[in-house]
Structure 1
């Protein structure tokens, strides 16, 4: 276990995916992490969670749908809208980092991050075996 980490909260709405880690095919890989008292698994929708939680975080690492420019699941677009990003900023501590995985770059999304008040906005390419690289949009909460 990484001693520098205070706690890790995983928000997952699909109970089957949580089950894969608790006793299913991924349990052998994740049992130690789940047994660590600093790990919390929350089974709910992420948009709902960031809108309702009173918890605060140093980082939010999000992998929701295909990214801001290509959502498949109804309601996921809310997360990438100014109101959803404002909710993310609210739960980040000052200087906290928002990392958003996406299947493709989105200059529009970068602009929205800036407009909501995030700083140090940038996009990092993540090479994949085939096709165009995935990306992670990074932004820092002011403060």
Structure 2
């Protein structure tokens, strides 16, 4: 008789689980109410927790090293550290948007964005510079549908 690891099947089942089922699993695994984040976040955290409970978590020294690396990346800026990495395009990505007949090319940098050789800390400030009006930069560049929540 072979021992089949049930963990990969549990992880695969997360994709087909309803939002209600994911929230139920969250309550069971974390013993708390699920946060109001998107499905992808819930799936990834639940998947990690399932594996953590089955195989063990990170060693304390690994956690400390990751925290130090995070501090180096965000300079201890609490606001910056809360920006979810999966929302931010990868540095080097080029965002292209036509506005009033002109094509605008924006490059994602490690510290924000660059347009016409000038750095911008936020994509919304950049969209405002291009249009002259207030815009949600994520919507302006088509990175987020304005009718849905991230």
Query: Which TM-score tier does this pair reach, normalised by the shorter chain?
Result: under 0.3
The higher-RCO structure (CA 8 Å, 6+ apart) is: 1
Q: Greater share of strand residues, 1 or 2? A: 1
- TM-score, with length taken from structure 2: 0.18
Q: Rg larger in 1 or in 2?
A: 2
Q: Greater share of helix residues, 1 or 2? A: 2
